[in-house]
Amino acid sequence: MDLGEGLRQALAKISRSTIIDAKTIKEFNKELQKSLLSADVEVQLVLAITRRIEEKALKSKPPAGLAPRDYITNIVYDELVALMGKSHTPELKPQRILMMGLYGSGKTTTSAKLAKYYQDRGLSAGLICCDMTRPAAYEQLESLAKQANVSFFGIKGEKDPAKVVRAGLEALRGKKVIICDTSGRNALDNQLIEELKSVAAAFNPEEKILVISADTGQVAGRQAREFDKAAKISGVIVTKMDGSSKGGGALSAATAANTNVLFIGIGEKLSNIEPFDADKFIGGLLGIPDISSLIDKVQSAIKEADIKPEEMQVDELNFDTFYTQLKAMSKMGPLKNLFGMMGAPDLPNEMVEKGQDKLNKYKHIISSMTKEERMDESLLHSPSRIARIAKGSGTTEKEVHQLISEFNRMKRAFNKLKNDRNIKKRLAGMPGLNI
């Protein structure tokens, strides 16, 4: 069970309670403690947060008109947001960023993601490779820089990272954001500490960022404190937040080191990094809809799929316009994430996976149609066309017929909406809808 699921189950129990008293709160806190501990949040932090929840819930009264259970939910929300730290709004200004972290944290990939993030927002960016210990670190960062379309500097075979930094600053003169990727280790030792101090002295960074993987566990807090003591970190980036059911330890590590989570990595693509928003993150864990993020995701997906805005305006629904919508959806990430943004994170995995498989099949089937068939589905009454499409898409004729049947139902619903004036008023201005 992941952190969000555990929190939602604990809140569901208190929502079903007819009386919110000391016993109910204590039972709720036990469930909350289990959820936080299983997500690798440090024991001391768990005890502190549940103690504060109990004190607030029992020593204060809900405002007039607010149900006690809603008041408890609000207290939990506020405490979890405080646990995860402040939200981060990146400053779009010239800066030097020093990246630190142990092996396996995703530091090198995150360096490239960060460079792309700033360059996509109008700040030219460059990467300096100062990882002198890991084999192929130079080649990896050079390759990632090309993918991100940012500048790269390194001196292959050089053992003095401070020398590389000085040469890199000269080579990347004029770049607005310069990011230095440093060496890692299995643990923070004296050799790495001295190396980081040497690089920092030569680089003179505005930001010193520690990269921590979401699956690090409860040692994340200790790791953050040790790096902060050695190099005075200014923030934390948590990676692999898309694949870990834990993450609590890494996120709360920033609190342990008296700093903030700046960004979170949410996938393998170089665009899969976003500023940390504590309110949205906790809202997602508690199943609160995040429509603004959903709209941002749609707009980003349209851009990434290289779809022109006018192509998303649907005046007539046919297989061609439907295929354009599917292309954009495929760029928006897993369906489970999208349902989470809509406030429905607990749909059964089996249902979500079936839905994802069906959408992928639909894309393959439609891509096997001719342009004429996409524009005029009446042509698909021909058995020979159905057989050709099934063969070309690696599906069965039954699955092609199923798509046509479901599409016709969608088209009838679309035409009904198109002729409904009240619906038109409510949907006016929404992206991708022009009915």
Convert the pLDDT of each residue in 378-409 to its tens digit: 888 888 999 999 999 998 998 888 888 877 77
Q: Which residues contact 340 (CB under 8 A, 6 or more apart)?
A: 4, 284, 287, 290
pLDDT digits (tens, 9 = 90+) for 167-188: 999 999 999 999 999 998 888 8
pLDDT digits (tens, 9 = 90+) for 283-326: 766 665 444 454 455 455 545 555 454 444 556 678 877 777 66
Please report, as a single letter, which amino acid is at residue 149.
N
List the structure tokens of 13: 């129990």
- Confidence (pLDDT) at 354: 64
CB-CB contact of 40 with 238 (8 Å) = no
pLDDT digits (tens, 9 = 90+) for 206-234: 999 999 988 887 788 888 888 888 889 99
CA distance 102 to 182: 10
List the structure tokens of 418: 């198109």
Residue range 143-160: mean pLDDT, rounded: 94
CB-CB contact of 238 with 250 (8 Å) = yes
Fold of the domain spanning 291-427: 434 Repressor (Amino-terminal Domain) (1.10.260)
pLDDT digits (tens, 9 = 90+) for 317-372: 788 777 776 666 666 555 555 555 444 444 445 554 666 677 778 888 888 999 89
Q: Give pTM, 2 decimals.
A: 0.64
Listed by start position, the domains of the chain span 3-84, 95-285, 291-427
CATH architecture of 95-285: 3-Layer(aba) Sandwich (3.40)
CATH architecture of 3-84: Up-down Bundle (1.20)
- Confidence (pLDDT) at 67: 72
